[in-house]
Structures are given as C-alpha cells and as structure tokens.
Structure 1
C-alpha cells in the first residue's frame, strides 16, 4: 500500500509539472471528442468521420466531464485537470503492478519512478498512455510458467486490441509463448479461453462503437484498412526502417539504454537461465521489427515496450548489485537519476510550453470579450494544424478556426492540405479567406508563431499584440517559432489616420472565411 501511495503522489506531482505540448492526440483524439460528446460542441477530426478510432477512451473521459458538470465543477481548470488526475490514478496502479510483476524489486521501483519518458507521458490523456498502463497490468497477470496458467490477462489484451489495434503486434508472440508453455492443448486454449473472451469483449466494444457512430462498425478493421492497406499514416511523415532501433527506443529509454544493452547481451548469452527475460526480448524484437515496416513512426508508438525494457533492466541490475560494491551501486543510481531528471524537467516544464499556456488567455478572452458591436470573440489559429488544444481548454461555444491538414483521402493529384497551402503563400491565403469589410467580419484574435509575423505584416496592421509567450528555444521546423503571439483586432481607427489612408490599403478578398462545418459555428 505504501508503494502505491508513493507512486500516486509522484504521478499527481507530474500532473502539475508536465505543462508542455507533446503530440496533438493528447487533446484532439481524447479531450476534444469527450467535450463534444458531453457538451455538444467540439471538433471531430477526420479519423472519426472515417471510423478508425474507438469511442471507448473518449467515453471514459466524458464520464469524468459529466460527473464534474453534475457536481457543479464545470469550469475549464477542472475540465483540464480532472482527466489527467484520473489518468494519474491509472498510471500509479500500473506502476504498482509493475512493481509486483518485477517481484517487488527495489530496482523496479527506482527505474519506473525515474524514467524520464514515463514521467513525461504518464499523466497525459493519450491513448498510448492508457495502452501502456493496461499492458503493464496485463503483463503482471501474464503466466510466468505452466503452473500459473491464468487467462486473466486475456481480458485486458482483448480490450487493448479493440481500442488500440496495434497492441496485437506485441501480444501475438506473447500469446504464442503462452500456448507453448501451457499444460493445456492449443485447441483447448483457443476454443475455451481465447475465442470466448475475444467474442465477449469484441461484442461489447463493437456495440459501444456502433452506438456512438450511429451504425454498425468494427473500428479495428477500419483502422487496418486506412493505416496499413492504404498507408494513410505516411502523410504525417516517414522515417527509415531502422529508426526505432537507432533513435526511437534509445530516446524513450534515455540513459537506461546502457544497462538495458548490458541486460540484452547477458540474456542472449544465458537465455536458458533467464528464460522469462528471453521471451520478453523476443516479443520486443518482434514488435520493433513489425513497426519498422510501417513508414510512419513515432516515439509514443513504442511506449508500451517501456515497462518490458525496464523490467528486464531491473532484473539485471538486481542480480548485478548482489556482488557490486556500494560505491558502484551509488554511482549507477546517481547517474540514472541525474540523466533522467534533466530531460524530464526540461521537456515537461520548459520545452514547447507556449501553445498550452496561450490557452489560458484564449479561455479568458472567449469568456469576457465583446467588441464595440457586442460580438463575441472569433479566433484564427495561423499555425501548423493541431498546434494547440481546442474547445476542451476553452469551454466556450465561440468561433475557433485553424488550418486543417487532412490526408489525401480521395486520391486527388498534387494534393495539398490547407496548412500547406497557407504556408506556401500566407498573404494570398489570407486575402482569399479573410474578409475585411465590415471590420467585425474579421477574426477578433489571431494566434501565430513569431516566425510567421514578418510574412503577414499587412494583415497584422489591423491587430495589436496582447500576449507573447515563450514556446521553444530550439526549433527544427520553419513553421514553429520561439514564441507564440496572440493578436487582438484594433476596433478604433487612430485619429491620425484619415479615411482615405484606410481605403488606400490593399484590401483582402471580401469573401467570407469558410469554417469547417464540423465546428458548428458561423463564418467570420
């Protein structure tokens, strides 16, 4: 119990320390969907129109939202914090399961508690985080030998395969190993254990998704069709086949890569002695190999491998420490702690924080702002798509407009998404999409990175900077700047300027700015 409480306190701490932006899915595939389900407005990305996402995860967050509304805590700060706090409880429980799975080793506590990447992601509202937690719980229930032939873990595995179909890649070799190790026949396991559990969980999951989508749908099949057969994921970037081995896994593990590499060598050399570790290594290698064939790669995709790698490393360090000197143990401990703490703090508290911090100002303005004609705020996000949270962090039914980046789902030749069209010629895009007459038709506020500012000076003549927030000291994308700027439309003409001066300015196209119909808002 003490260990669980310690993990819980650590994860609750991370709720308030982790303030930075990581990936769009943390908001757009979870909180935004839940907000739409609960409060009736929010943006649904193309994944939901194509049916490749399961509603199970957003529905769990919607339950939290509904409870807050029922208790009278329907405020933005609670809507932002509550899902992360609930995730902290789940992550703390999975940490405790990791501790039990690792035979209550002190090294297991140390490694899972100090892992920089787990601290960075453990309380984010990512489906990958939920997947990692459930994977850890399932691994703690996974039978270690033929005498403990429990199938409890299969219920979790079945659920994982529906909410995150790629989980099947990791669990396929582990299930095969279970069948080989079990004293039951393969036919008995499949017909009396695997198949009934899959049918029960699948029926419930398909029923929930079909109800949410308004028609029969099997989301894992739709996911496979678009992401594997049609390779839609490549639209969001590709990496070479060896990326997970040379960059992906070493980055996720951080400094733990060194003892993990030692553990791998030791396990391979003595695989009969460390048979459990050897089985886990085979599952890890299989998963990395399959993922390497997929063109689109991300660090978060291999997050479920983190507890496996840490488990193998903890067992190795436990055996090593029996014969190591006290000084050697202290040096290793302090080295692991230091080189995990540095990236954990910097990436959680400093790097890429501007796009989340700016939402505090946007939420306040959305709640209080009225122009001279009494109109509410209308925000235009001139940034790479999904650079900020959306309605889940505003909780006001105001007009929000961002540059979309839907993949080429219709096979259009020379296709460019809206964000690419904008960055190809920002001035031309603004002239063709943003009206200037009457002035109230223009967005009341614009949000952009500072690197865009020189390119749209003409448009920004109608605005003044009201907030400038540091975002990142290092940028590798020319579309992402060092600071996030929030502009507000100037509502009064300066007395020094005549009407003729205003009229001589080159006007933008007076066509209305077309909003995506999914936002349920009027046009600018």
Structure 2
C-alpha cells in the first residue's frame, strides 16, 4: 500500500477527531498546556499549584505558546484559532506516530486498521494532554527500536518522553536492557556514547528551558517524582485499589480491542519462539502495570502509552491468524472490532460531558460584550468542582474570573480541606463568608454552576436571573449535574421588575384558594 496514501488516510482521521471530539475529559488538557501557553504569550492566565511548585516542564506549553505568538504577531489570535490550532498540532503528531506504528509492524493491514479504530485513541489523540504526547513519542521510539539489528535513534524520542513524564522510564528500562543484551556493540560503549550522552543532552536542554521559565534552577522530573511518587500527593485527587489497572484501567482503554489482545497474549505464551517482539512487549506491559499499580492515584490516561504495545501484540497474532481464516471470519472480526469502537467513540466524543465546551463560547460573548450599570466588565464566579471548565485560553479576554481551588495539603496541615470541599460542605456559609452582598454591584456579575447546586443556594441566586442552561450529562453526580447554568446579576431597575414577574397572578391565587388541600 502506498505510504503517502496511508499517511494521508491516518492524518484525515486524526484531523477529523479535532472537529468531532467536542466533550470535556480531564482538566490537564487545558490547565497544564493551553492555559500555561496563554499566560506565557498574552500575560494573563492561571497557573495551578504544579507550576508554582515546579513539577511541570514548560517544554510542551512552549510549543503551543509558539503557535500563539505567531497568531498574535499576525493579528489572528481569535479564540477559535487559539483553541483549534494546538489540537491540530497534536493531531498531526499523533498521525505521524500512527504512521510509524504502521511501518514498525511491517506495513500490515491489521496494523493500519487497529491503530485507526481504538475509541480511546480517537477520543484523546487530538487532545493537548502530556499523556497524548507521551503515547505518540513512545510509538515513534518503538518504531525506531533495533528489534533486528543496530541503532539508537529511538533514544531521542524515548528520552524526551521520560523528561516530560518521568513515569515513562518504567517502559524504557526493560526495553533498554533488552537492547543492551541483543546488541553486538560493547555495552559500556553503548551506555557511555549513546544512552548517557543522549540522556544528558535532552535533560540539559530541558533543565535549561525550565530553569529560564520557572525563574530558578530546577529539575522538573525530580520535582515530579518527589511530589507525586515520594510524597504521594496524587492520592489527594483519588485513589484506587492496586489491581485497578489490570481489572479496569487497561481493559477500558483497550475496549473491545481487549479480545484480540488476549488472543495475542495466548498465542505469544504458546509459541513464544515465534513471537520474540510480542514476548518482550508483554514483559514490558506487565512490569509497567505492576509499577504503576503501586501508586494510589490512578487514571485511564496514565496507561495510554501502553496502547501501541498492546496493539502490536494484537496485530502480530491477528496477522498470522488471517492466513488460515476464511474471508467471512475476517470481515466479521473486523466489523465487530469497528462497531465496538465506534459506539463509545461517538458517545464520549459528542454527548457525554459536552457542557463545559458548549459553555465557553457563551462566556466568551459575555466577557466581550457585557457591561453593568457602572460600565464595569464581567466578573465571573465558577461555583463548580475545581477546573470543571477551560479558562482564559477559551475566552481570551482579561476579565475577572474566580473558581473554587483544590490545591493539595502541601504544608501537611491537620484536618485540611481545600476550598472546593469547604464550599460543598456548607455552600451558603461559604458564600456569606467570601462574597460581599453590599453594595449589590460588589456581587459577581455572573455565576456558573451545575443545576444540582441551584436549590441549595436559592437565597444567593435571588439576586440573579438564569441566562443559559447547557446540557452536560445524563445523570447527576455528587457535585455535578445534568446541566450547567449561567446566572446574570440583576441590574438596577431589573430587580423590582424581576420580583413582580415572580409574584403569583390572580388566577394562581384563586387556584390555590380552591385547592382542597387549603380548605
């Protein structure tokens, strides 16, 4: 199959995901990339505690900031392009990594099919997540790995991946040992002239970049490990049992592709001498899952770099099976895999948790156009779980915005509660303590919240009128709801009119009087 055609097909699918995926996944997609890049370029934005403490590297945000700077110089920095172009950049990198996967697997048809259809990769492949970048770099590095022969080109993307996400080293440690064992070159020479040299060059450049932008000498991979692993700060944001990656995490990410992966495992174990690469990949997958399982805080996206390894094992087994399978079996298998991926990809990309993305254009219009009775611009308060929406990167207006923070207990305080927890424990008490109600113009001009909170703060919202109600999810949860609501503060003169609108009509009063419950 023509390689240019293959890359074009892959690129078309990844670019399509930019426009199809219109839902919210995790805060890091915005707060650890776009928001940082926006502040670097335009001077305003919000840096979370990770950036204050220095556990994040500026390397990825700087790529996006470069795009933003070009747009600003050309006076093309519209919100639409600020949101769209970083996703196109990531989708293009993802497409290249998918192409390299196809080349790595020997240009097999199953490889092209299986790299294009996974629901999770379609859902996250164009998102500006460090995990997505890590998965792409891992795939590229694997495609250059010297499975049969010599070469160290893979060390560059592998080293960059490890610098950006130190947990990536768990994948590359067993693979590097495999390389050293198989290589005909001197182990000492390989380590000193390749591993160490490339590692030091990548680390040196990364440290220089981070030191400049953090304003102090800093090694972000060390800070990352210190806070997330040694101090276990991640558990503040949730914990899961040790077996979660084996029983829930990886099977969910693979989806229906779990079935061919299990088949690949069985074939590799039964005929290990014929599946040398798959055997080494399975060892790497197992070791990685075991190490990651020791950390309390677990997320689906943390195993996304294992996706290319799992897909290779599946491709290897299915390609050999195809030689003896009937045409009917081949088409049925492909159809089941396709259908099993399309359904969750469609639902999660277009329906589930779409509220925050639909919300931002409405807030953008408010930020651009709203003026109160004193000609003051909008002042927006988010009464939601912290980081429930994108922020300045999706509004691109320097208006006042405030949200409930959720910084972890960095100072080891007793009985610590973050701001969001304190608010949800007693919403009205928090509002009375933190939001001035006199004069009325001191109130936020707009309040954004989930509908599940509306009844609990009814007295506070008496000063507001409902402006927008945006569909979000099918079911209410503890702190989220079915819809996101935007309230606008009543202007002078509107209050009396609004209150008159709320008074019962004469017909309503007569109906109440005639109701037998009042007789």
Normalising TM by the smaller chain, what interval?
over 0.9
Helix, strand or coil: the match of 2:56? Answer: coil
Summarize the Cα distance change of 1:496–1:126 in structure 2 as closer, same or farther, 3 Å threshold: closer
2:367 aligns with 366
- Asked if 1:27 is matched to 2:5, the reply is no
CA deviation profile, 1:4-45 (whole Å, cap 9, x unmatched): 111111111100000000000000000000000000000000
The 1:496–1:138 alpha-carbon spacing in structure 2 relative to 1, beyond 3 Å, is closer
- Report the counterpart of residue 494 of structure 1 in structure 2: 496
Match of 1:480 in 2: 480
**Cα drift, residue 2 of structure 1:** 0.7
In 2, the alpha carbon distance for the partners of 1:84 and 1:464 equals 35
Supply the distance in 2 between the matched residues of 1:88 and 1:135 (Cα, whole angstroms). Answer: 15
The count of residues paired between Structure 1 and Structure 2 equals 496
- For 2:498 and 2:352, how far apart are their aligned partners in 1? 42
What is the match of residue 65 of structure 1?
68
Whole-angstrom CA distance in 2 between matches of 1:254 and 1:200: 38
User: Structure 2: where are the runs of 5+ without partners?
Assistant: 504-519
- Counterpart CA distance in 1 for 2:74 and 2:319 is 47
1:497 positional shift: 6.1
Query: In the aligned structure 2, how far is the partner of 1:149 from the partner of 1:480?
Result: 53
Distance 1:102 1:416 in 2: 50
Q: The residue matched to 1:493 in structure 2 has which SS?
A: helix
Distance, in Å, in 1 between the alignment partners of 2:82 and 2:153 is 34
How much does 1:202 deviate? 1.1
* Partner Cα distance (1:158, 1:138) in 2: 9
Tell me the SS of whatever aligns to 1:166: helix
How far the C-alpha of 1:185 sits from its partner, in A, is 2.4
In structure 1, the residue matched to 2:116 is 113
Partner in structure 2 of residue 77 of structure 1: 80
Residue 474 and residue 495 in structure 1: after superposition, are their counterparts in 2 closer, same or farther (change >3 A)? closer
SS for the counterpart of 1:152 is: coil
Over 3 Å counting, the alpha-carbon distance change for 1:38 and 1:315 in structure 2 is same
Q: Which residue of 1 aligns with 2:471?
A: 470
CA distance in 2 between partners of 1:358 and 1:493 (Å): 26
Matches within 5 A, 1:30-69: 30-69=33-72
Q: TM-score, normalised by structure 2?
A: 0.94
User: TM-score if structure 1 supplies the norm length?
Assistant: 0.93
- Whether 2:290 is the aligned partner of 1:289: answer yes
- Displaced runs of 4+ in structure 1, greater than 2 A? 495-498
- The CA distance in 2 between the partners of 1:85 and 1:159, in whole Å, is 21
The SS at the match of 2:128 is: coil
Task: Give a deviation string over 1:193-247, Cα, whole Å, max 9, x none.
Answer: 1111111111111101001111110001111111111100000000000000000
Match of 1:512 in 2: none
Instruction: Kindly provide the CA deviation profile for residues 239-277 of structure 1, in whole angstroms up to 9, marking residues without a partner as x.
Output: 000000000010000001011101101101211211111
How many Å apart are 1:72 and its aligned residue? Answer: 2.0
Take 2:309 and 2:356, find their aligned partners in 1: how far apart are those partners? 33
Distance between the aligned counterparts of 2:368 and 2:130, measured in 1? 30
- 2:404 aligned partner: 403
Cα distance in structure 1, aligned partners of 2:475 and 2:294: 30
Q: Quick one: distance in 2 between partners of 1:336 and 1:59?
A: 38
Say whether residues 1:191 and 2:204 are aligned partners.
no
Bigger shift: 185-194 or 47-56? 185-194
Query: 1:461 and 1:497 mapped to 2: Cα distance?
Result: 9
Secondary structure of 1:380's aligned partner: strand
Q: Look up the SS of the partner of 2:398 in the other structure.
A: coil
Mapped to 2, the partners of 1:36 and 1:97 lie a distance apart of 34
Aligned to 2:131: 128
Superimposed CA distance per residue, residues 264-292 of structure 1 (whole angstroms, 9 cap, x where no aligned partner): 01101211211111001100101000000
Partners of 1:107 and 1:269 lie apart in 2 by 21
d(CA) in 2 for partners of 1:463, 1:314: 58
Write the distance in 1 (CA, Å) between the matches of 2:348 and 2:499: 47
**5+ long unaligned stretches in structure 1:** 502-524
Q: Return closer, same or farther for 1:439/1:103 CA change in 2, 3 Å cut-off.
A: same
CA distance in 1, matches of 2:345, 2:247: 21
C-alpha deviation, 1:493, in angstroms:
2.3
Could you give the per-residue CA deviations for residues 80-121 of structure 1, whole angstroms, max 9, x where no partner exists?
A: 001001111111111100100111011011111111000000
